[in-house]
Amino acid sequence: MKDKMYSWQMTELKADFKLIESQLPTLEEGEALVKIAGCGVCHTDLSFWYFGVKTKKELPLTLGHEISGTVVAGATQWLGKNVIIPAVLPCGECELCKKGRSNICQKQLMPGNDFNGGFASHIKVPAKYLCPVSDKVLEKYSLKQLAVVADAISTPYQVVKKSELQGGDLAIVIGIGGVGIYAALIAKIFGAKVIALDIDDEKLASAKLNGVDATLNVKSLDVKEVKSAVRNIANQLGASPFGWKIFEVSGSKPGQELAYNLITFTSTLSIVGFTMDKTEVRLSNLMAFDAKLIGTWGCKPELYPEVVALIENGKLKIDSFIELFPMSKINEVFKNTLEHKYKKRSIMVPDFD
């Protein structure tokens, strides 16, 4: 039915998602109805579904914040346009927004957290910050593939810019899964010499194949051995022993502790991954090394066109690191993701017809 929409809803912690049929939502001024092409599965979704991180909206809730699609109703200027929906939708008017920090706007709305998200046939969103996708981009990739831009690519793009990385810097990326591999590739685009650290040889081999300068499997190494190996690799690459840009993307306690221990003189450590686990670190290292520790939350919508431009001009290739699944397989995909059975970012494609 044309006036119906479908969604896979989370009803309780760790339970299977349930397929729900409902009426298409009524739109208010400034809103758009997007027919979803694809929605990526993120570690944040797992945190909500399995690990007990609370969503802003009470259950039942449709998860999913990594969304691409086509505007089918709403503001006239958007009708028929192919778009990416930013994972963080700010108000645009508050102090933080006006200071260029809209990604952490305290009035922000996040699909699949503040309101029903992208594991559905349609979604109602504020139209203000939609990111258009040109036909030129769609000559390279399908709209459903581009869902990955909304978080897995835009988030590391923002943090690489925020780190003040310059050409010739050494960038160390810890954890090169769905977000980390893009962090490594974006750092490379920015001119860095990039080392990828992980515990999975297959992911490391893929990173090397796609242009990362060096890789290191840290699974059987202690911190001292990793530090020594990284120093040797940096020397071989002709990188400076100072000012390393370290990106922790694994979202794990061992990864975060390793990242902190790699801080050296004038380093910048960026925390990208999320974990509920607490770490034990010596903060005085920041003082002793005159280093910086920064966080990042999503990506401000203003940067999305820059991300899309990297894909449009061929600098960033995305298809080697994503895998498409029919949305009807959502329960299977979430369980397999929880068990680390996938090497690529999963994108769920609506198959409700």
Q: How confident is the model at residue 151 (pLDDT cuts 50, 70, 90)?
A: very high
43 and 74 in a single domain? The answer is: yes
Picking from 266, 295, 324, the residue at the C-terminal end of a domain is 295
- Containing H/E element for 307? helix 304-312
Residues 88 and 121 in one domain: yes
Give tens-digit pLDDT for 117-142. 999 999 999 999 999 999 999 999 99
pLDDT attached to residue 275: 86
Residue 129 shares a structural domain with residue 227: no
pLDDT surpasses 50 at 175: yes
Do 147 and 8 reside in the same domain of the chain?
yes
pLDDT of 26 over the 60 cut: yes
Same domain? For 147 and 167 the reply is no
What is the reported pTM? Answer: 0.94
Which CATH number covers residue 116? 3.90.180.10
In CATH, what number is assigned to the domain containing residue 284? 3.40.50.720
Task: Using pLDDT thresholds of 50, 70 and 90, give the confidence band for residue 75.
Answer: confident
Lowest mean pLDDT among 111-115, 181-185, 200-204, 274-278: 274-278
Mean pLDDT of the 91-113 span: 96
Of the pLDDT bands very low, low, confident and very high (cuts 50, 70, 90), residue 274 is: confident
Statement to judge: residues 168 and 225 lie in one domain: yes
Give me the helix-helix angle, 253-261 and 223-237, nearest 10°.
60
Domain shared by 162 and 287, yes or no: yes
| Nearest C-alpha neighbor of 157 from the set 317, 345, 307, 344 | 307
Residues 144 and 12 in one domain: yes
The mean pLDDT value of the chain amounts to 96
- pLDDT, one tens digit per residue, over 86-95 is 999 999 999 9
Look at the chain and report how many structural domains it folds into.
Answer: 2
Domain limits for position 38: 4-151+299-349
pLDDT at 1: 47
pLDDT digits (tens, 9 = 90+) for 317-347: 998 999 999 999 999 999 999 998 998 999 9
Q: At 148, give phi and psi (nearest 5°).
A: -65, -20
User: What share of the chain has pLDDT > 70, as a percent?
Assistant: 99
Contacts of 251 (CB under 8 A, 6+ apart): 43, 175, 272, 273, 274, 275
Q: How far apart are CA 78 and CA 85, in angstroms?
A: 12
Q: Are residues 144 and 162 in the same domain?
A: no
pLDDT above 50 (res 110): yes
User: Are 318 and 214 part of one and the same domain?
Assistant: no
Q: How confident is the model at residue 38 (pLDDT cuts 50, 70, 90)?
A: very high
pLDDT of residue 247: 98
Residue 160 shares a structural domain with residue 287: yes
Q: Are 346 and 323 in contact (CB under 8 A)?
A: yes
Same domain, 270 and 325: no
Crossing angle for the helix pair 304-312 and 154-162, to the nearest 10 degrees: 110
SS3 content of the chain, % helix, strand, coil (to 5): 30, 25, 45
